[in-house]
Amino acid sequence: MTILVEQPEFGVEAEENKVPVDEKELVLDGGFVVPQINSFGQTFRDYDVESDRQQGMENFYWINHINQTYGFVKKMREEYGKLERMEMSIWECCELLNEVVDESDPDLDEPQIEHLLQTAEAIRKDYPNEDWLHLSGLIHDLGKVLLLPSFGGLPQWAVVGDTYPVGCAFDESIVHHKYFKENPDANDPAYNTKYGVYSDRCGLRNVMMSWGHDDYMYLVAKENKTTLPSAGLFIIRYHSFYALHKSGAYKHLMNEEDVENLKWLEIFNKYDLYSKSKVLIDVEKVKPYYISLIEKYFPAKLKW
């Protein structure tokens, strides 16, 4: 299926208190402890440290910030919101992520299914009674299947990386904010003010976010009538919205429900970010538990 994009095209080229902890303790033992360094021996989410991946990540955000316009996001939501690419189960989608590595992630280069299980298992240890939160950890990144040819083979800049609202001013807390000066919306008075096309306390559900795996998986879960609580859907859609949950930006757009759900997202984010490790999960050992959660909260087959 061809996706028409007027401006710009995919072909653009340019791209807590922390406690030291042993890698094995992080995922396999007792309670979760926030590590001091990532699997590359560097500070988490350090986009400026000199490394083999640093230049690639900077190029990634250059392209991302130029291309993510209000018009682009609207087209992608309309196209992918049809959910006509495939029918499959949640676990089948998890297995597809064996083929995906996130080029925008400065903290890990393992296949994505390992990140999903590391996140879910770390949450499960600390919140054993919140099974919906375990499942949210497992599925939060499933939208990265957008990178695969069967889902359109979208470029990395249109699938991964930090997310942020479009249709209003780009907050300076967004990583590599300097590249937004080349985004057409940054010079459009309809989109470059504090509120842009939105209103005070309008609710984040009414705000268009930059297009990527977060928004896509949110659409998939919502339209397939998941019974996950509101906080679960909030986590899925906004877990990459670091300008909000790390910097406190855009709170003027939040309503009361968002404020309550943000508390859960802030809990979740610790596990999403700091559970990344070179210690891998035994997939077959934990699979029966997660299959039971999938059956509880989702239909057997979903439209994607």
Look at 79 and 47; give whichever has higher pLDDT. Answer: 79
Q: What is the pLDDT of residues 78-115, one digit of tens each?
A: 999 999 999 999 999 999 988 787 666 554 556 678 88
Whether 18 shows a pLDDT value over 90: the answer reads: no
Q: Tell me the per-residue pLDDT of 160-212, one tens digit each, with 9 for 90 and over.
A: 999 999 999 999 999 999 999 999 999 999 999 999 999 999 999 999 999 99
| Structure confidence at residue 45 as a pLDDT band (50, 70, 90) | very low
Q: Does position 129 have pLDDT exceeding 90, yes or no?
A: yes
Residue 11's pLDDT band (cuts 50, 70, 90): very low
- Which pLDDT band, with edges at 50, 70 and 90, does 156 fall under? very high
Query: What are the helix (H) ranges across the chain?
Result: 23-28, 54-67, 70-80, 90-96, 112-126, 131-139, 213-223, 230-238, 242-245, 256-274, 283-297
How sure is the predictor about 56, in pLDDT bands with cuts at 50, 70 and 90? Answer: confident
Q: What pLDDT is recorded for position 280?
A: 82
End-to-end CA distance of the chain: 14
- Is the confidence at residue 37, as pLDDT, over 60? no
pLDDT bracket for residue 249 (50, 70, 90): very high
Which residue did the predictor score with more confidence, 277 or 98? Answer: 98
- Give mean pLDDT, residues 258-266: 97
The pair of structure tokens assigned to 176 is: 């590599």
Q: Which of 115, 158, 142 is nearest to 15 (CA)?
A: 158
* pLDDT attached to residue 113: 80
CA distance 187 to 183: 8
Separation CA 241–CA 266 (nearest Å): 11
Mean pLDDT, range 261-267, rounded to an integer: 97
Q: What confidence score (pLDDT) does residue 278 get? A: 67
CA distance 101 to 108: 9
- 197, two tokens: 């096309």
- Candidates 265, 104, 72, 241; CA nearest to 173 is 241
Residue 225 has pLDDT above 80, yes or no: yes
Question: SS in 3 state form for 172-214?
Answer: CCCCCHHHHHHCHHHHCCCCCCCCCCCCCCCCHHHCCECCCHH
Cβ distance 264 to 272 under 8 Å?
no
Tokens 């030291």 -> residue: 20
| Amino acid sitting at position 32 | F
**Banded model confidence at residue 275, pLDDT cuts 50, 70, 90:** low
Residue 66 has pLDDT above 70, yes or no: yes
Residue with tokens 């949110």: 218
Q: Is the pTM above the cut of 0.85?
A: no
